[in-house]
Amino acid sequence: MKHWIIVIIAIALLVLHEKLSAAKYWFLGGLLPLAGIGTMVYQLCIMKMTLPTEGIIAYIVFFVAALLLWIIGRYEFKQKELNKMKAKDI
């Protein structure tokens, strides 16, 4: 049961991240990647933990997914703004 709750929270965070990435203010979508970087720095520097290979792979997958969602969200926002500008010109 615990794993399902974690999966549901992760999906909810990714959906929220995608919506914030397509918002007017670009930095809102960057909050999730910054939180991940902060968590990694906390684990490695402050707690002096050594991450196993699975942990490093998990962080890499998380950063790649978060950055791709952020880039896609910013592209969608720019396309939406261009469509609004085109509609006003007509």
Tell me the three state secondary structure of residue 51: coil
Contact between residue 29 and residue 74 where contact means Cβ atoms under 8 Å apart: yes
DSSP letters of 33-54? Answer: HHHHHHHHHIIIIIS-----HH
Contact predicate 59/36, CB 8 Å: yes
Q: pLDDT confidence of 9, banded at 50, 70, 90?
A: confident
pLDDT at 1 over 80: no
Distance, CA of 15 to CA of 19 (rounded, Å): 6
Rounded to two decimals, the pTM is 0.72
H helix runs in the chain, sequence order: 2-21, 31-41, 53-89
pLDDT score, position 70:
87
Question: What is the mean predicted confidence (pLDDT) over 38-47?
Answer: 85
Statement: residue 51 has pLDDT above 80: no
Q: How confident is the model at residue 64 (pLDDT cuts 50, 70, 90)?
A: confident
